[in-house]
Amino acid sequence: MLNENKVKMMTKMAIYEKNEGKDMVKTAKYYKSDYIALGVLKSLITTTLAFIIIMILYAFCNAEGIVANINDLDYVALGKKVAAYYIGLIVAFSIISGFVYSYKYEKSRKGLKKYFSRLNKLDRFYNGQKKKK
């Protein structure tokens, strides 16, 4: 005989495992600080690559002007300006990614608690049925 509550509980757990369970397993492996640090590191690497690509594209688009004024450019000031933009970009994206990964971790932990709560209820249900037999 099928128990309707057991079927509902197992269905909810299966849906959760299929949709959000993939991310749940990834975050369950890490402490919160490690997960956030790894996320910020990924953001720093991708931000650096994006900045390099943008600088190359800017140089290609303005190649004629750069070549025409190559002797008149103040390289120190240009280097300081590029470094300031890079540092500003890195700081902004580090802060944003820190908040985003912290939110994702907390959301995943809440889902894990709910999942394990349902798992414990299901375990108690099965143990209760075994004792009756």
In a domain, 56, yes or no: yes
In a domain, 14, yes or no: no
Query: Comparing 11 with 86, which gets the higher pLDDT?
Result: 86
In a domain, 126, yes or no: no
In a domain, 111, yes or no: yes
Query: Comparing 56 with 4, which gets the higher pLDDT?
Result: 56
In a domain, 121, yes or no: no
Query: 98 to each of 40, 91, 102, how far by Cα in Å?
Result: 6, 11, 6
In a domain, 32, yes or no: no
Q: What is the Cα 39 distance to its own chain's centre?
A: 5
Domain limits for position 96: 40-116
For the chain, the domain total comes to 1
Q: How far apart are alpha carbons 129 and 123 in whole angstroms?
A: 10
Query: Comparing 56 with 8, which gets the higher pLDDT?
Result: 56
Query: Comparing 2 with 79, which gets the higher pLDDT?
Result: 79
